[in-house]
Homo-oligomer: A and B are copies of this chain.
Amino acid sequence: MLEILREIGMIARALDSISNIEFKELDLTKGQYLYLVRICESPGIIQEKLAEMIKVDRTTAARAIKKLELNGFIQKKDDEQNKKIRKLFPTEKGKKVFPFIKREHDYSNAAALEGLSEKEAETIFNLLQRVRKNVEKDWEFVKKGNKRNY
């Protein structure tokens, strides 16, 4: 059995750790960069979707977002039609740090792909997308309280 998930776990933890250390100089605490980049990329997104996207518990996302708002990186706005949801937008401050985060991400991406040919990079990207789609099915299944059978 090829332990691809173990490799993925190692890579993900290492990268997250690096990002958390590097973004402290932006006054972003642990994990906040995850939400901020996506809000910058998809302004108007709601936190429920964000949690789904990032694959994190809804309540964790709620608190991370609340803190981003508290610290002035993002802003919540009521919707006209739907009184329940609160759309998320970056503030000026949020928009200002976004390029720094992007640069860090690009650097990490490039470092991660070092020694891989362009073709190999594309291959791993495509395969990873397929794996991700497989895994997110199970995640939603289990998160909803269903039981996998094995």
Q: Report which A residues bind B (CB closer than 8 A).
A: 1-5, 7-18, 21-22, 34, 53-57, 103-109, 111-116, 120-125, 127-132, 134-136, 138-139, 142-143, 148, 150
Contact = CB atoms under 8 A, between A and B. Distances in A.
Given A5-B105, A13-B54, 17 more contacts: A2-B109, A4-B124, A5-B108, A8-B128, A9-B12, A9-B16, A10-B54, A10-B135, A11-B128, A12-B13, A13-B55, A15-B139, A111-B135, A112-B131, A115-B130, A116-B130, A124-B127
Oligomeric state, in copies: 2
Q: What does DSSP make chain A's interface, helix, strand, loop or mixed?
A: helix
Nearest to A3: B109
Nearest to A17: B139
A21 to B, nearest CB: 6
Given A2-B122, A106-B1, A114-B134, A11 B10 contact: no
Contact of A125 (B7, B14, B22): B7
Nearest to A110: B1
30 contacts: A2-B109, A2-B122, A5-B11, A7-B125, A7-B132, A8-B8, A8-B128, A9-B15, A10-B135, A10-B136, A11-B128, A11-B132, A11-B135, A12-B12, A12-B13, A13-B56, A15-B135, A17-B55, A17-B57, A17-B142, A18-B138, A18-B148, A22-B142, A103-B150, A106-B150, A107-B150, A111-B135, A114-B134, A116-B131, A123-B123
